[in-house]
Structure 1
C-alpha cells in the first residue's frame, strides 16, 4: 500500500497534456496550505495530467488486458510478464501490472487533495468548479480502470496513511465512480475554448462535461454486466450516451471521416477524442510523463528494430473484416533484411498493429522510429460512445432505428455495409461487441479485454486460439470467473494483510 499512499511529489507543472501548459511554474501541493487562490487551483488541476499520463504512456499497465483474443506476445526474455496474462498464469509479482496500480492510485491521491480543499480557495465559482471537475473526472477514471482490473480494491477518498485498510466491493467502488462523474458533468465546461490552455488546435485537451457523460455511459454499461449485473443500468447508459450524441457539436466532438487518419501524426489533435492523453518529448528537459513509450519501438516488429511487446492474434486478424479500418489497424508492409514483405514472412509470423507507429520520430518510408514518441493515446473516442449507445439502447428498449444508426455510423466509416436489420436483441448485442473488438483492437484503453469481462466470455473468446499462438497455461472459466481479476501486487499485499 505504500505506493498509493505516498504523497505525490510530482512536478505539478508541466507535465500535462500540452506543451503550452509546460510554461507554467512548478508547484507541489502541500495539503491545505497550497490551495489558496485560483492560480493554485489551476496549477493543481494541471498537475494531475502528469500522473494520468504515466498510466497510459507505456504498455506496462495494459499487460492486464493481454487475455483478450486480439493480442498476443512471444513467451521469451522480458516479455514473460506480458505473456503471463496472455496465457493465464499471472502472479502477484508481475512487474508490468504495477504501473497501473501505482499510477492510478497516485492520481487518486492528488485528486483527493484537490477535492478536499478546493472549496476554500479565494476563487470564483467557475474557477473552483473547473479545477474540482477535472479532479472528480480523473479520480473516477482511475477507479474505473482499477476495479475492472483488480475487482475488490482499497477505496481511498482522503490522504491518510492506513496500512490496515480493507478492500471494498466493486459495488462500492462504482457508487463513488458514478457520484464523481455526476459531479464532473455539472462542474466541467461544455468546451474549454476561450477559458485557457486546455483547448488547443481546435480540440479540448482536458475533460469536458461531454467527457464526463461519455465515461458515465460506459460505466453504466459495465455495471449492467459482470460483476454487478445491474441490468437496469442499460437504460441509464443509453440515456447518458444519447446526451453526448445529441450535443456533439456543443462538446466539440465527432467521428473522423477516415479511420486511418486517427493514427497519423498530422491528427495528433482531433475531435474524435472525447478524452485523450497528449505527449510532447521535444520540449526541452521533457519529463517522463511527456514521453509516449507505446510506440514506435514498443509495438513494432522485431525485424524492423522493434521490441515485439505485442502483436495480433492470427484468428482475430483473419476474422477482421477487410476495409479501411483493417488497413488502419494493422501494418501491411514489413522490412525483413531490407526486403519488403508481409507479416507471414516476419520472424514471429504475426500481424503487427499500426496504431502507435506514426509520430514525429517515425520514418514511414524506412520504418525507423524512436522508443520515446509523442503519439496521442485516445482514452475515450466518440466511436466508443456511439457503440455504447447502440448496445445499451438495444438491451434496454430494443434495437430501434437509433441503435442501428449508431452502429452503422461505425460500420460505414470502416467500409462495411449496414448491419443486417431486424436482428434479435441478443444478436444485435453480439454484433456490437464484435464491432467494438474490431474498432479498438490492439490495446487501446477501450480494450477488448474489458468487453470480454463484462459479457463473461473470456473463455469462449480464447477457445478458438490458433495453434501458432503460445499455448494457454491456465484455463479461464466463464462461470467461476477464474483469471478474470489480476492478483493484488505483492509489495502492497505484504504491507497490508487485509489485501
Structure 2
C-alpha cells in the first residue's frame, strides 16, 4: 500500500535512507504502517521520519529546494560553472528534466507519505490521548505545509489523504481542492496541537501562522478569493495577541543561532547525526573567496543587482548583503578587500551576508580582514515561519480586507523598527500600503526559501520584475511567455509514471 504518486520509487528511497543515515530513527516507523504501529515509541519513530524526509539533502536541506524560484529578483546564480539547473529557471527557461527541481517535488511527497501513515494509524496505538494527539497534530501540520508548497510550486497535484493501491495513478486535483485540503489539515492541527514551544515541532500558533499565509495567498492568483484577506488577518491576529513571539533578537543573530524568539517553526539539522543543512556556508560564498585552509565558496546563490540597489538604507540591509569581498593573496594568509563591483571579482555581484556564518560560525569562520575556513554543511536550523511573516501578513491582510488601520501600521512598523527604519508614512491608500508591505517583506525575507517568489506569483508582477533586471543578469530568452512561468513543470519522471496527466502549459 502507498500514499503518494510514485509507489516504488518512494518506498525504495525511504528504505535506502533509513539504512544509511545515522540519526536515531527507528525504521519501523517508516516501512510498515500497519504492522508496527503498536506503541508510542513506534509512533514517535514515524513522526521523526516525517521531518527527516523533508529536511534531508535530497529534500529541503540544500539550495535545490529553491530551484524553480530563481525567477525571483532576490535569487540569481553564476552565468557559467555547474549552475545550469538554477540558471535555467533564473532565465525562465527551466524544464521538466531539471534534476535539481526534483527535490522540490520529492521531499514534500515523501513527507506526505509518512504523514498519511501517522494520521491513518495513530489512534490504534496504545498510549495517552495527549501523546497521540501531539503526534497526529504534527502530521496534519506537515502534510498541510507540504501540499501548500506543492500547489504553489507546481499547481494542480493529487490530493491523497490516505492509503491507495500500488497500481493507482490518481489524477491531479484542481488548485482549489488542494487548498481546501491544506485548510482542513491546519484546522485539525490547531485542535490537536498545544501551545508549548518545542524546538523543531509545530504548535497551535504555527498552525495559525501558516493558515494566515495560506489565506493571504488564496486572496491572490490563481484563486483571487479576496474574501480570504479577512480570514488571513484573523489568524495572524490570534498569533500576535498571544504575545508569545517577539523581534528582540538582532537581525543577524536570527541567522547565526537556532530557534530565536521569533522562530515559529524551523527544520532542525545535525551534522553529527547525518542531517546537515547545506543552504548556509559555502553555497552563498563567492567563488573568488578562498580561506586560509584552502576551502572556498561555491557561488550558488546571490541577489540580483537591481534588487540589492533598491534595498532600503538601514541596519537590516547592512546585515543582509555582503558587499566587500576578501581575496586571498599569494602568501595565503593575507587578504585584499575589494567592493562587489570590482573587476577583480568573478561575478561582480553582491552576496548574502546573512547566510554565511551558519550556526555560530560552522559555515564561514572569518574576521573583518581574513577568511579562516568555509564549510558547506552546517547545523543551522531553517526557519520556515518567522514572526515577521505573521506581522506583515496581518498588516497586508487587514488593510486589504477594508482599509489600513492603526493596527495595520503597528504591525509593519514593528518590523521596520527592528530593521532600523522609521515608521511607515501614515495616510497611505489601500494599494500603496499593500505595496509597502510587499516591499518590506522582500527585504525582511530576502533570499529565504521562496518568500519573495510567492509574492511575485500571487500578485502577478513577474513582468515588472523582469523589466527592472540589470542587463548583466542571466538573460530571459526573447519570446518567453512570462505568464506561463509562475508555476514549475511537473518532473518528467512523474509524467512518465502518470501518462494521463497533462503537463503544465509552457513546458
Assess same fold via TM > 0.5: yes
1:269 deviation in Å?
2.7
Alignment of structure 1 residues 442-461 onto 2, 5 Å: 442=447, 444-461=448-465
1:159 deviation in Å?
3.1
Q: Determine if the alignment matches structure 1 residue 125 to structure 2 residue 129.
A: yes
Q: Determine if the alignment matches structure 1 residue 231 to structure 2 residue 216.
A: no
Structure 1 distance, partners of 2:456, 2:7, is: 29
Partner of 1:363: 365
Partner of 1:72: 76
Q: Determine if the alignment matches structure 1 residue 255 to structure 2 residue 250.
A: no
Q: Determine if the alignment matches structure 1 residue 298 to structure 2 residue 283.
A: yes
Partner of 1:279: 269
Q: Compute the RMSD of aligned alpha carbons.
A: 2.0
Structure 2 distance, partners of 1:9, 1:241, is: 39
Partner of 1:336: 327
Partner of 2:49: 47
> Cα deviations across residues 291-346 of structure 1 (Å, max 9, x unaligned)?
11112111110001211112111111011012211122111331124311221122
SS at match of 1:378: strand
Q: Determine if the alignment matches structure 1 residue 28 to structure 2 residue 14.
A: no
SS at match of 1:33: coil
SS at match of 1:71: coil
> Cα deviations across residues 72-120 of structure 1 (Å, max 9, x unaligned)?
1123232111011111111110111101101110000010111011111
Q: Structure 1 pair 404/208, CA: closer, same or farther in 2 (3 Å)?
A: same
Structure 2 unmatched runs, 5+ = 290-295, 329-334, 502-507
Partner of 1:9: 15
CA contact (8 A) 1:87 1:472 kept: yes
CA contact (8 A) 1:5 1:106 kept: no
Structure 2 distance, partners of 1:215, 1:5, is: 30
Alignment of structure 1 residues 389-400 onto 2, 5 Å: 389-400=394-405
- More moved, 63-72 vs 378-387: 63-72
SS at match of 1:379: strand
Partner of 1:243: 238
SS at match of 1:363: strand
SS at match of 2:415: helix
- More moved, 445-454 vs 172-181: 445-454
Structure 2 distance, partners of 1:439, 1:144, is: 21
CA contact (8 A) 2:356 2:363 kept: no
Q: Structure 1 pair 361/466, CA: closer, same or farther in 2 (3 Å)?
A: closer
Q: Structure 1 pair 302/292, CA: closer, same or farther in 2 (3 Å)?
A: same
1:362 deviation in Å?
2.2
Q: Structure 1 pair 4/85, CA: closer, same or farther in 2 (3 Å)?
A: farther
Q: Structure 1 pair 174/4, CA: closer, same or farther in 2 (3 Å)?
A: farther
Partner of 1:327: 318
CA contact (8 A) 2:159 2:173 kept: yes
SS at match of 2:322: coil
Structure 2 distance, partners of 1:438, 1:82, is: 21
1:248 deviation in Å?
3.0
1:9 deviation in Å?
2.9
CA contact (8 A) 2:159 2:178 kept: yes
Structure 2 distance, partners of 1:348, 1:445, is: 22
SS at match of 1:56: coil
Q: Structure 1 pair 463/65, CA: closer, same or farther in 2 (3 Å)?
A: same
Structure 2 distance, partners of 1:376, 1:31, is: 29
Q: Determine if the alignment matches structure 1 residue 191 to structure 2 residue 196.
A: yes
